[in-house]
Chains A and B, each alone.
Chain A
Amino acid sequence: MYAQMVKSETADDSAEAVAFQARIDAGEKIEPKDWMPAGYRKTLIRQIGQHAHSEIVGQLPEGNWITRAPTLERKAILLAKVQDEAGHGLYLYCAAETLGVTRDEMTEMLLDGRMKYSSIFNYPTLTWADMGAVGWLVDGAAIMNQVPLQRTSFGPYSRAMIRVCKEESFHQRQGYDIMMKMAQGTPEQKAMAQNALNRFWYPSLMMFGPSDKDSVHSAQSMAWKIKMNTNDELRQKFVDQTVPQAEYLGLTVPDETLTWNEEKGGYDFAEPDWDEFFEVIKGNGPCNTERLAARNKAWDEGKWVRDGLLAHAEKRNARKVAAE
């Protein structure tokens, strides 16, 4: 997901930790100044940070098309969508900051590779139809994960998710709207839409993280209610929701084994190539280098602006104090 394979710390069995777990089990929200196990704090910083970084890095593949959107209206919509992603990143950084880490520290950890972002943003966006596929599939998968996270145990994270979810459905709809236009367009446009679906299908399935049987971090995070569903549950839900939407578009999901399973009331589908997933996570995806280079460049080249504005504010404050 936007936070994949977040390594979970373990709980201790102190009286405080037991009482803390009881609060979570009772559905209480944990707030920043409440006592919490060090592991809960650390795991959340890692997870919310990764989630925030994904929103920020996620601007790059879409920002790539702002200047080349086919109409002024599409351009304005895409611009608004990418701006939303920046906002989502900021809501999440704020939530993480309440745990005692600063935004700049998290940014530095992203830039030097100590923190991760979602694997999905290491794939290139080659055509305009990719803007459709990203909104429809990538934001669709993100929504699957973020809706249950509105009920997560940590108050600031929960409130950030509520804000994000309010805005996210615009993202998915604008993506599907692009796909409809392309799928109902000329044969070349339809082929472009099919090609985008072919390239984004499996990377979207990977967003939910490895299969439950290989997912070692789930149990503690689920007990702490910072992970609400298993990876496989969400992936199944995503496939069940998306296949009929692809059918409506007249596009074919690139999976020959895809069949409706009456008994389980869901589709049977092929797993993505997990070797590819682990390579992307390790930094060997098609765009890892480019994405991190772009973030580093923006950070480095923005330094004089950050420093200049701070120096100006401090000078003005000093003058104000002197005048008093």
Chain B
Amino acid sequence: MSSPNSAYPDIPETETKPKRHEWPLWEVFIRGQHGMSHRHVGSLHAPDEEMAIKNARDVYTRRNEGVSIWVVEARHIAASSPSEKGPLYEPSESKVYRHPTFFNIPEEVGAM
């Protein structure tokens, strides 16, 4: 299930295992209600996308949790790595002027 940029870790180095022939892993995204975006809720195994959606219905929406389901095979997800945290996110830390609270607007001006 893992490639260097996948969402999951590589299988720990200590283990030398033959590749297994299993149902692939799918990541499941659910739109909780109309107007909201799809959110990641978990994963499951299924032989194909049709079964993945059926299984997602059974596993993740038993109590009206959703109005729409997306599934994507986990191996198609590319992910950033924790070691890139600095280069990726630090630049925005110094740009406080991107937030509206950076600017003082006199009270006389009114709501803005």
Q: Chain A residues in contact with chain B, CB under 8 A?
A: 31-35, 38, 41, 80, 83-84, 87, 90-91, 94, 97-100, 102-105, 159-160, 163, 167, 306, 309-310, 312-313, 316-317
Interface of chain A, helix or strand or loop or mixed?
helix
A97 near B11 with CB under 8 A, answer no
Interface of chain B, helix or strand or loop or mixed?
loop
Which residues of A are found within 8 Å of B21, using beta-carbon distances?
Answer: 310
Closest chain A residue, CB of each to CB of B23: A310
A255 to B22, CA, bound (A): 49
Which residues of A are found within 8 Å of B62, using beta-carbon distances?
Answer: 80, 83-84, 87, 167
Which residues of A are found within 8 Å of B12, using beta-carbon distances?
Answer: 38, 41, 100
Chain B 59-86 per-residue mask, 1 if CB under 8 angstroms from chain A, else 0: 1001100000000000000010110000
Which residues of B are found within 8 Å of A312, using beta-carbon distances?
Answer: 47-48
Which residues of B are found within 8 Å of A317, using beta-carbon distances?
Answer: 48
Q: How many B residues have CB within 8 A of the partner chain? A: 28
For window 22-61 of B, CB contacts with A under 8 Å fall at 22-23, 25, 42-45, 47-48, 51, 58-59
A31 to chain B, nearest CB (A): 7
Closest chain A residue, CB of each to CB of B40: A159
A35 to B13, CA, bound (A): 13
A103 to B45, CA, bound (A): 9
Q: Out of A32, A91, A309, name the residue touching B42 (CB < 8 Å).
A: A91
B23 near A167 with CB under 8 A, answer no
Q: Out of B43, B47, B51, name the residue touching A97 (CB < 8 Å).
A: B43
Closest chain B residue, CB of each to CB of A317: B48
List 3 A-B pairs, minimum CB-CB distance, nearest first: A309-B47, A313-B48, A313-B47
A282 to B82, CA, bound (A): 41
Which residues of A are found within 8 Å of B47, using beta-carbon distances?
Answer: 306, 309-310, 312-313
B1 near A102 with CB under 8 A, answer yes
A80 to B48, CA, bound (A): 26
B18 to chain A, nearest CB (A): 11
Which residues of B are found within 8 Å of A316, using beta-carbon distances?
Answer: 48
Contact flag A105-B59 (CB < 8 Å), given A33-B79, A41-B12, A94-B42: no
Q: Chain B residues in contact with chain A, CB under 8 A?
A: 1-2, 7-12, 14, 20-23, 25, 42-45, 47-48, 51, 58-59, 62-63, 79, 81-82
Q: Which of A94, A160, A312 has the most CB of B within 10 A?
A: A94
Contact flag A32-B9 (CB < 8 Å), given A97-B1, A104-B20: yes
A–B complex contacts, Cβ < 8 Å, 12 sampled: A31-B82, A33-B79, A91-B59, A94-B42, A94-B43, A100-B8, A103-B45, A167-B63, A309-B47, A310-B23, A312-B47, A313-B51
Which residues of A are found within 8 Å of B8, using beta-carbon distances?
Answer: 32-33, 97-98, 100
Give 15 A-B pairs besides A90-B59, A316-B48 with Cβ atoms closer than 8 angstroms.
Answer: A33-B7, A35-B82, A38-B12, A91-B42, A94-B43, A98-B9, A99-B9, A100-B9, A100-B11, A102-B20, A160-B42, A163-B42, A309-B51, A312-B48, A313-B48
Closest chain A residue, CB of each to CB of B27: A94
Q: Out of A33, A41, A103, A167, name the residue touching B81 (CB < 8 Å).
A: A33
A33 near B22 with CB under 8 A, answer no
Which residues of A are found within 8 Å of B14, using beta-carbon distances?
Answer: 38
A105 near B45 with CB under 8 A, answer no
A309 near B23 with CB under 8 A, answer yes
A69 to B63, CA, bound (A): 23
Which residues of A are found within 8 Å of B1, using beta-carbon distances?
Answer: 97, 102
